Amino acid sequence: MTHNGVDAMTLTTQPTDDIAALAPWFHNLHLPDGRQTCPDHWLGDFPSFKWRQIAGSIPEDLTGWRCLDIGCNAGFYSFELARRGATVLGIDLDERYLKQARWAATQFDVADRVLFERMQVYDLARRDESFDLVLGHAILHHIPDLPRAFAEMRRVLRPGGLVLFAGEPSERGDRLAAIPKRAGLTAAPVWRRVMRARAAAPHDGDPDDGESLEPFVDVHAFVPEDLRAAAVAGGLTDVRVQGEELVANWFGWFNRTVEATAEYDDVPWMWRQYAFRGYLALQTVDRVLLEPRLPAGIFYNLMLTARRP
Position 97 contacts ligand SAM (CB under 6 A): yes
Q: How far apart are CA 84 and CA 209, in angstroms?
A: 37
Q: Name the residue with the smallest CB distance to ligand SAM.
A: 71
Burial pattern 82-114, b for ≥16 Cβ within 10 A else e, equals beeebbbbbbbebebbbebbbbbbebbebeebb
Position 304 contacts ligand SAM (CB under 6 A): no
Position 139 contacts ligand SAM (CB under 6 A): yes
Position 80 contacts ligand SAM (CB under 6 A): no
CA R_g for the chain: 21
Smallest distance from ligand SAM to CB 7, Å: 37
Size of interface with ligand SAM, in residues (CB under 6 A): 19
Residue selected from 29, 105, 121, 151 as contacting ligand SAM according to rule CB under 6 A: 121
Ranges of H-type helices in the chain: 8-13, 18-22, 48-54, 76-83, 95-107, 146-156, 171-176, 178-195, 224-233, 247-260, 269-285
Position 71 contacts ligand SAM (CB under 6 A): yes
Integer CA distances (angstroms), 46 to 42, 183, 212, 282, in order = 9, 24, 14, 16
Q: Which is nearer to ligand SAM, 216 or 276 (CB)?
A: 216
Cα 5 to the chain's mean position, in Å? 41
3-class DSSP state of 248: helix
Position 135 contacts ligand SAM (CB under 6 A): no
Q: How far apart are CA 81 and CA 99, in angstroms?
A: 19
Given the rule CB under 6 A, which of 33-41, 66-74, 104-112, 267-275 is the region that contacts ligand SAM? 66-74
Smallest distance from ligand SAM to CB 175, Å: 20
Position 93 contacts ligand SAM (CB under 6 A): yes
Contact mark string toward ligand SAM, 151..180, x via CB under 6 A: ----------------x-------------
Position 120 contacts ligand SAM (CB under 6 A): yes
Residue selected from 28, 37, 73, 242 as contacting ligand SAM according to rule CB under 6 A: 73
Beta bridge partners of 66: 87
Residues at the site binding ligand SAM, with contacts judged by CB under 6 A: 27, 47, 70-71, 73, 91-94, 97, 120-121, 137-139, 142-143, 167, 216
